[in-house]
Amino acid sequence: MIASSLIDIGINLAHDSFNPDRDAVIARAQAAGVVQMMVTGSSGSSTRQAIEMARTHPDRLFATAGVHPHYAKELTDELLAELGQLATLPQVVAVGECGLDYFRDLAPRAVQQKAFHRQLELAARVRKPVFLHQRDAHADFAAILREHRAALVGGVAHCFTGPREELEACLEMDLAIGITGWICDERRGAHLLPLMREIAAERLLLETDGPYLLPRDLPNKPQLRRNEPAYLPHIAATVARARGESLERLAASSTAAARLLFGLPGLSLSITMTG
């Protein structure tokens, strides 16, 4: 048992699967040592919901404001203007989830690229970091991001799952790296284990991306197969082992890194958790 705390920098708490027990999910997270969470805005609707949750749980929940590449066609001039206003709110700590996704191509690639450019410009205007998504689109993603990087205050490569070359490119652009339960999947995520030592402590952040990416090696998996922030300590333990450090040390460094990047307030609360 150790006394520490964790921050989940990416939880899709506006997802419908959390409707029946959202308050219980938040309570379980806090009991597990996850003392703060960033609720991902991936559309106009989920951004508004994320902000309302952050208002209801001040200093515990925070929001991002943005449009996921799957929904890039929804980023009209009107929604962009609204996001510009919402992004200035104190509850909003990052712009996004934004980026490119060529795995499913749910929006035309040219539309995705335009939406990505516009949200990077927005992040530069409001002086908040970007919460970045990239899947099977690294070359275009990196090229667009490099165009804007000098104007940005920072960002995180959310749910990083790529090879060493992509990690090196993200680190070269001075991005933080968000690691999820993908690293717990021996079929798809084993390549991430040796990469954990390549990430400086001040760049390494932790997230569940719930309800997605339930850790494959989680004991006593929930019947719903839904991921939630209470499982973040399990992910953190896997990352800590890969780095050859204690869970307590990783928890302290990742929490400090998240608070620095996103301007989150510190909490005096320290919760006992297992690892």
User: Is the distance from CB of 6 to CB of 253 less than 8 angstroms?
Assistant: no
Cβ atoms 228, 25 nearer than 8 A: yes
Could you tell me whether strands 61-65 and 92-101 are parallel, antiparallel, or unpaired per DSSP bridges?
parallel
Give 116-149 pLDDT, tens digit per residue. 999 999 999 999 999 999 999 999 999 999 999 9
Stated pTM of the model: 0.95
Per-chain mean pLDDT for the chain: 95
C-alpha neighbours within 13 Å on the C-beta side of residue 9: 37
Q: How far apart are CA 261 and CA 147, in angstroms?
A: 21
pLDDT computed for residue 223 by the predictor: 86
Express each pLDDT in 230-255 by its tens digit.
Answer: 999 999 999 999 999 999 999 999 99
pLDDT at residue number 271: 38
What distance in Å separates the CA atoms of residue 34 and residue 25, rounded to the nearest whole number? 11
Nearest-angstrom CA–CA distance, 91 and 144: 27
**In terms of DSSP H, where are the helices of 159-231?**
164-172
- Domain annotation for the chain: domains and CATH numbers: 2-273 (3.20.20.140)
Q: From residue 190, give the alpha-carbon distance in Å to each of 9, 17, 138, 216, 241.
A: 22, 28, 20, 12, 13
Q: Where are the beta strands (DSSP E) in 108-267?
A: 130-135, 155-157, 176-179, 204-206
Closest listed residue to residue 179, CA positions, set 269, 165, 197: 197
Provide the 10 A C-beta neighbour count for residue 191: 12
Distance CA 241, CA 189 (A): 15
Q: By percentage, how much of the chain surpasses pLDDT 70?
A: 96
User: Predicted confidence band at 212 (pLDDT cuts at 50, 70, 90)?
Assistant: very high
Contact (Cβ atoms closer than 8 angstroms) between residue 30 and residue 19: no
Environment class of residue 208 by beta-carbon count within 10 Å: exposed (0-12), middle (13-18) or buried (19+)?
buried
pLDDT at position 83, please?
Answer: 98
Give the pLDDT band (50/70/90) at residue 78.
Answer: very high
Q: Smallest Cα–Cα separation from 232: which of 92, 49, 18, 25? A: 25
- Tokens matching residue 104: 């499913």
pLDDT at 267: 75
pLDDT of residue 275: 38
The residues facing 99 across adjacent strands are 133
